[in-house]
Amino acid sequence: MHYQTESWGSYIPATTMTVGGDPLERIERLASESAVVIFSMSTCCMCHAIKRLFCGMGVNPTVHELDEDPIRGKDMEKALMRLLGNSSTAAVLPVVFIGGKLVGSMDRVMASHISGTLVPLLKDAGALWL
């Protein structure tokens, strides 16, 4: 698992990042950069559980800790909330994207795994090879 961290001390505009950009666009861009993308909060234990789930399956997800992005984190969290149709910020995170497409929160991921649809999804996205 590798973490995408922004170092605000030495800002390197390596990609087409715009500080004032649309959070939803940013989410979609980040989501399409890897096979499995998790938007998380470093202090959130449910996020920890979902990371353990993917690691246990042999998947290597890209994790974006929104609380470690002081400027855009909050906006992204709100954008994700709207995307999921949640009415409150309570337990929006973790949010999982596979193959650039939104899967959802812990309950959707678990339901998908139990029903057997998660593994084919991961294979299609190239996150699993067995």
Partner 1 sequence: MENMSSSSTQFATSRQMGIYEPFRQVSMWKDTFGGDNLSYTGASTIGEVDAKLENKFELVSHESVQPSGNDEEGNKSSDKAQRRLAQNREAARKSRLRKKAYVQQLETSRLKLAQLEQELERSRKQGLYVGSPLGTSHVGFSGTVNSGIMAFEMEYGHWVEEQHKQNCELRNALQAHAADIQLRMLVESALNHYYSLFRMKADAAKADVFYLVSGIWRTSAERFFLWIGGFRPSELLTVLLPQIEPLTDQQVLDVGNLQHSSQQAEDALSQGIDKLQQSLAHTMAADPMSGDTYGSQMAAAVEKLDELESFVSQADHLREQTLRRMSSILTTHQAARGLLALGEYFRRLRALSSLWAARPCEPV
Report the residue from 6, 24, 30, 46 that binds partner 1 according to the rule CB under 8 A.
Answer: 46
What tokens does 95 get?
């949010």
Return the number of the residue (26 or 95) whose C-beta is nearest partner 1: 95
- Site for partner 1, residues 62 to 91, rule: CB under 8 A: 90-91
Among positions 16-45, residues that touch partner 1 (CB under 8 A) are 43-45
- Peptide bond before 94: cis, by omega within 30 degrees of 0? yes
Q: Which residues are at the interface with partner 1 (CB under 8 A)? A: 43-46, 48-50, 52-53, 56-57, 90-91, 106-107, 110-111, 113-116, 118-119
